[in-house]
Chain A
């Protein structure tokens, strides 16, 4: 009881900070990053593990305040309001994303603790220094993307993210990962350039960079001016390259499969989602007028192709980590179905569709992080991750295989997983608006997901009589951690609808309601 009271007191203290709370998710990682570099040695790891729980507390606090107030939280940096100054804002989307990020980050940080330490007798190692400092960079960049309300500040956030994420890909220093990292860098920089070009066009047309002010001026302008359409096209294509939506996906599989497992988990679960969220911001918040049936269908078709193509390629992979990486391509496709589904002519289904999209995002984040971490445990223990030679692993590493399996089932969308609820919501919107084709694509995607997972289980669960000799046994707590992450994804569908309503807080034209 004491602990409950203590938690209650802590919570009241945190939420009492009001909008100042928005500084914490951004400045905690960035200040930690600077200190980690200055102190070096064994300190970066300690700093990360000390800050991650604080970040989780702040994220829970922000979500609670946003849900309670039913209005976005705003903070004007430097006391200067837009258009002159820059503002941070947490609406429902931001709150959910901050929460997902801090949960996955904390799990990955704990998982990586033994793997990225400084061995006794050494004062500092390259991998330890780079991993923990870059992890802080990714964390700060992600949070700034979720809270930024100014198009140029969001560009800075994307730069923070890119410059921390790319070196993580080639942390083990092999030539092929270096090549994957370089390709990732080129795609990401191309995306940044297109994004900032669009930002410049919007400033030239409207004289402000604040998303809220731009939306008002765009609405006042009536028809979209050519500069706004060009800007939206440039920014969307640039962000698609960063999100790795088909056909701009070439960089993702080698990059995500080649990184160390802890880094892969972050890259696949969180980093590609940041640019997706910015596309959502542009299409739903900045220029709702863009969201016409024909324009949204382009994104929807690309998403559908990604679902089928990514799923089919995952089915043919020989290595476990590559299979998980190709599965990310397919799962990212689902997120883009929300664009056509939100253009329902019958009524405004934006709230439901966005809730479904965010659920899919959160469910995939937890499940994909768990799959990469489990694949990492299996690969480290066996010394390889060839799917055809996984026989007996189910007996040798039952917990890791169980975690991988539960994460996979959550991804397929069995009840009560978050993906199940997400697909129910999206399918409902598809039926309601007569766009049954998208529902069909989701079913095909689910079958493909089941197929490539069954292939893994078939090998992992065979050969019980002769389990393989293990090079090393993973720490029990690591296996439990991965299992917990997988269960998070599986249990996401059990969230009460009242909590799901947080997604639509701050939506200007959200109809809300209608949740199951």
Chain B
């Protein structure tokens, strides 16, 4: 509450304005760009609300990665925008607008009616955090108290990858993903792709390491690692692996498998599935986070790289 209210008012106006622009603009590509900006402003809102972890995730995944996916999709759409030709009639749009406004209004009213101060589990988390050995309550919740949700979400990511791959033509199975194959890369991009990754990898590891006690963690670190890999792929320095590549698949499920393995060991050694033996909680949590970071980075990169394409279409490049 140190900054004056005008900052918050300005942010709120900006969020609403950008959201409105994304909805009303008719050009798909520009709407995707607007979405990226919207996500970044939303991240600032989270910072103002004191949720730095959420802000980092919103900036990295909500704005960065999702924005990249949307931009890629928009760029691949044919020039004569099919969204234009199948636009619903005015009647449908009015009904949709009225319904959306009513739901948003009701939600706003209900949120204002919520009890103040909000009932929260934060004190209970703080009181029990010492048992987990980590200092960041968000990490404590994600890897100890509600570990099952994190495990589930990491498997959802794996399933998203299978779902994406399943969209490939039959004869492309065994081929390499082709979305990130640009034209022969210009030299500045190649240069960037050679210089930036070492630093990016350091930043990713740093985000993971501080995540135990401060805002940060595997998802944010993984996004940075994935960005570095994607940069290398786009610049054409390396080719994405084939979908049948055993090492790549092993890496993609490695994090979830380590999670399941440590969780199962907990059933014997600590009395419950997903529990950690006394004194070993922090090293085990860090092991899971490290393994998950690698897997999430690989999966995010592969999601951006798209479904496999037949070898002749991929055009083998040296």
User: Residues of A at under 8 Å CB distance from B?
Assistant: 20, 23, 27, 30-31, 33-35, 37-38, 40, 75-80, 83-86, 123-127, 129-130, 133-134, 137, 140, 144, 152-153, 156-157, 159-160, 163-164, 166-167, 170-171, 173, 178, 197, 201, 204-208, 225-227, 230
Smallest CB–CB gap between B150 and chain A, Å? 9
Q: Is the CB of B124 within 8 A of A83?
A: yes
Q: Considering the complex, which residues of chain B in the window 272-286 have a beta carbon less than 8 Å from any beta carbon of chain A?
A: 272-276
Q: Is the CB of B260 within 8 A of A30?
A: yes
B81: chain A residues at CB < 8 Å are none
| B162-173 contact mask (Cβ, 8 Å, vs A): 1 or 0 | 110111111011
Q: Is the CB of B110 within 8 A of A80?
A: no
Q: Is the CB of B170 within 8 A of A77?
A: no
Is B92 part of the contact surface with A, judged by Cβ < 8 Å? no
Given A38-B257, A124-B244, A226-B110, the answer on whether A78 and B162 have CB atoms closer than 8 Å is: no
Q: Is the CB of B114 within 8 A of A153?
A: no
Smallest CB–CB gap between B166 and chain A, Å? 4
From the candidates A84, A178, A227, name the one contacting B113 in the complex (CB within 8 A): A227
Smallest CB–CB gap between A29 and chain B, Å? 10
Q: Is the CB of A153 within 8 A of B152?
A: yes
A83: chain B residues at CB < 8 Å are 121, 124
In the complex, what distance in Å separates the CA atom of A30 from the CA atom of B157? 13
Q: Considering the complex, which residues of chain B in the window 103-134 have a beta carbon less than 8 Å from any beta carbon of chain A?
A: 106-107, 109-111, 113-115, 118-121, 124-125, 128
In the complex, what distance in Å separates the CA atom of A173 from the CA atom of B174? 17
Q: Is the CB of A78 within 8 A of B148?
A: yes
Q: Considering the complex, which residues of chain B in the window 73-126 have a beta carbon less than 8 Å from any beta carbon of chain A?
A: 106-107, 109-111, 113-115, 118-121, 124-125
A77: chain B residues at CB < 8 Å are 147-148, 272-274
In the complex, what distance in Å separates the CA atom of A320 from the CA atom of B142? 47
Q: Is the CB of B155 within 8 A of A33?
A: yes
Q: Is the CB of B121 within 8 A of A134?
A: no
Q: Is the CB of A207 within 8 A of B267?
A: no
In the complex, what distance in Å separates the CA atom of A86 from the CA atom of B150? 12
- In the complex, which of the residues B159, B273, B275 has the most CB atoms of chain A within 10 Å of its own CB atom? B159
- In the complex, which of the residues A23, A30, A126, A133 has the most CB atoms of chain B within 10 Å of its own CB atom? A126
Q: Is the CB of A152 within 8 A of B146?
A: yes
In the complex, what distance in Å separates the CA atom of A20 from the CA atom of B121? 27
Smallest CB–CB gap between A66 and chain B, Å? 19
In the complex, what distance in Å separates the CA atom of A133 from the CA atom of B165? 12
From the candidates A40, A123, A204, name the one contacting B111 in the complex (CB within 8 A): A204
Q: Is the CB of A204 within 8 A of B114?
A: yes
Instruction: Place the interface of chain B in its size category.
Output: 35 or more
Given A83-B124, A125-B173, A173-B169, the answer on whether A130 and B159 have CB atoms closer than 8 Å is: no
18 A-B pairs within 8 Å (CB atoms) are namely A20-B273, A76-B272, A77-B273, A78-B147, A78-B148, A84-B128, A126-B168, A130-B162, A153-B152, A159-B156, A160-B156, A160-B159, A173-B169, A201-B110, A204-B114, A207-B120, A226-B113, A227-B110
Among all A-B residue pairs, the 6 with the closest Cβ atoms: A207-B119, A156-B152, A130-B166, A79-B272, A167-B163, A78-B274
Smallest CB–CB gap between B218 and chain A, Å? 17
B246: chain A residues at CB < 8 Å are 38, 40
Is B253 part of the contact surface with A, judged by Cβ < 8 Å? yes
In the complex, what distance in Å separates the CA atom of A201 from the CA atom of B103? 14
Q: Is the CB of A163 within 8 A of B250?
A: no
In the complex, what distance in Å separates the CA atom of A284 from the CA atom of B170? 46
Q: Is the CB of A84 within 8 A of B110?
A: no
In the complex, what distance in Å separates the CA atom of A34 from the CA atom of B151? 12
B110: chain A residues at CB < 8 Å are 201, 226-227, 230
Identity of the chain A residue whose Cβ is nearest the Cβ of B271 in the assembled complex? A79
B145: chain A residues at CB < 8 Å are 78, 80, 84-86
A167: chain B residues at CB < 8 Å are 162-163, 166-167
Smallest CB–CB gap between B10 and chain A, Å? 25
- In the complex, which of the residues B152, B174, B249 has the most CB atoms of chain A within 10 Å of its own CB atom? B152
Q: Is the CB of B146 within 8 A of A86?
A: yes
| B230-265 contact mask (Cβ, 8 Å, vs A): 1 or 0 | 000000000000001010011011001100100010
Q: Is the CB of B159 within 8 A of A164?
A: yes
From the candidates A23, A37, A159, A173, name the one contacting B249 in the complex (CB within 8 A): A37
Identity of the chain A residue whose Cβ is nearest the Cβ of B161 in the assembled complex? A37
B13: chain A residues at CB < 8 Å are none
In the complex, what distance in Å separates the CA atom of A133 from the CA atom of B160? 11
Please name 19 further chain A to chain B contacts, defined as beta carbons within 8 Å, in addition to the given A78-B276, A208-B121, sorted by A numbering. A37-B249, A37-B253, A75-B273, A77-B272, A77-B274, A78-B275, A86-B146, A124-B244, A130-B166, A140-B155, A153-B149, A153-B152, A159-B156, A164-B159, A167-B167, A170-B166, A173-B167, A204-B115, A204-B119
B166: chain A residues at CB < 8 Å are 126, 130, 134, 167, 170-171
Identity of the chain A residue whose Cβ is nearest the Cβ of B164 in the assembled complex? A167
B266: chain A residues at CB < 8 Å are 78
Identity of the chain B residue whose Cβ is nearest the Cβ of A76 in the assembled complex? B272
In the complex, what distance in Å separates the CA atom of A79 from the CA atom of B269? 12
B152: chain A residues at CB < 8 Å are 144, 153, 156-157, 159-160
Q: Is the CB of A34 within 8 A of B253?
A: yes
Q: Is the CB of A33 within 8 A of B244?
A: no
B256: chain A residues at CB < 8 Å are 34
In the complex, what distance in Å separates the CA atom of A431 from the CA atom of B170? 56
Is B270 part of the contact surface with A, judged by Cβ < 8 Å? yes
Given A83-B121, A126-B166, the answer on whether A230 and B273 have CB atoms closer than 8 Å is: no
A125: chain B residues at CB < 8 Å are 170, 173
B225: chain A residues at CB < 8 Å are none
Given A134-B162, A156-B152, A197-B107, the answer on whether A38 and B253 have CB atoms closer than 8 Å is: yes
B158: chain A residues at CB < 8 Å are 33-34, 37
Identity of the chain A residue whose Cβ is nearest the Cβ of B163 in the assembled complex? A167
B149: chain A residues at CB < 8 Å are 86, 152-153, 156
Given A33-B155, A37-B162, A167-B166, the answer on whether A80 and B144 have CB atoms closer than 8 Å is: yes
Q: Is the CB of B118 within 8 A of A207?
A: yes
In the complex, what distance in Å separates the CA atom of A38 from the CA atom of B248? 9
B159: chain A residues at CB < 8 Å are 33, 133-134, 137, 160, 163-164
In the complex, what distance in Å separates the CA atom of A263 from the CA atom of B148? 27
B144: chain A residues at CB < 8 Å are 78, 80
Is B8 part of the contact surface with A, judged by Cβ < 8 Å? no
Smallest CB–CB gap between A77 and chain B, Å? 5
Smallest CB–CB gap between A267 and chain B, Å? 15
Smallest CB–CB gap between B291 and chain A, Å? 12
